[in-house]
Amino acid sequence: MKVFVTGAGGFTGMALLKRLVARGDGVVAFDIAISEPLRALTDGGADVTAVVGDATSLPHLAQAFRAHRPDAVVHLAAAVGAGPTMGNPWRVMEVNVGGSLNVMEAMRLFDVKRMIFLSTEETWGEMNEINTETDYQVPFLPYGISKLA
């Protein structure tokens, strides 16, 4: 299976890439920049193709989907971190909501039917006890709000 991973150069992305490669999947690692760990993985002979692109750009995504024809997507790309997300909530929404919409549109355009989307515990807001599926999610930071949206 060929898996397209957005945000592939981050902590979670790199851990996922290693697992996908270990089980024999081909991987398209899509990120805004190629990190050194990602470069080492692609240079190490693994079936990983690194693609520089921005999830907020549908043309970037469409070009990568056209070139690599993935079977599935794992969408990890996000604007994270308390500093950056508090200082520019518009950018957080652009990346986390707009980027997600672009990924789903690229999937529609190229008939990719399988997606895994990772969210965050920050969608719950203040947690004073263990939450259940029937509890309300009330995020209060831009990152949590954008991931719930």
Distance (Å, whole) CA 82 – CA 23: 34
Structural domain boundaries enclosing 135: 2-148
Better-scored residue on pLDDT, 115 or 38: 115
Burial of 20 (0-12, 13-18, 19+ CB in 10 A): buried
Total-model pTM: 0.89
Out of 55, 143, 144, 147, pick the active-site residue: 143
Residue 5 dihedral angles phi and psi, to the nearest 5°: -115, 115
Name residue 34's amino acid: I
Better-scored residue on pLDDT, 102 or 40: 102
Does residue 139 register a pLDDT over 70?
A: yes
Distance (Å, whole) CA 42 – CA 105: 27
Lookup result for tokens 């500093």:
83
CATH of the domain at 136: 3.40.50.720
143 is known as an active-site residue: yes
What's the number of domains the chain is made of? 1
Q: How confident is the model at residue 44 (pLDDT cuts 50, 70, 90)?
A: confident
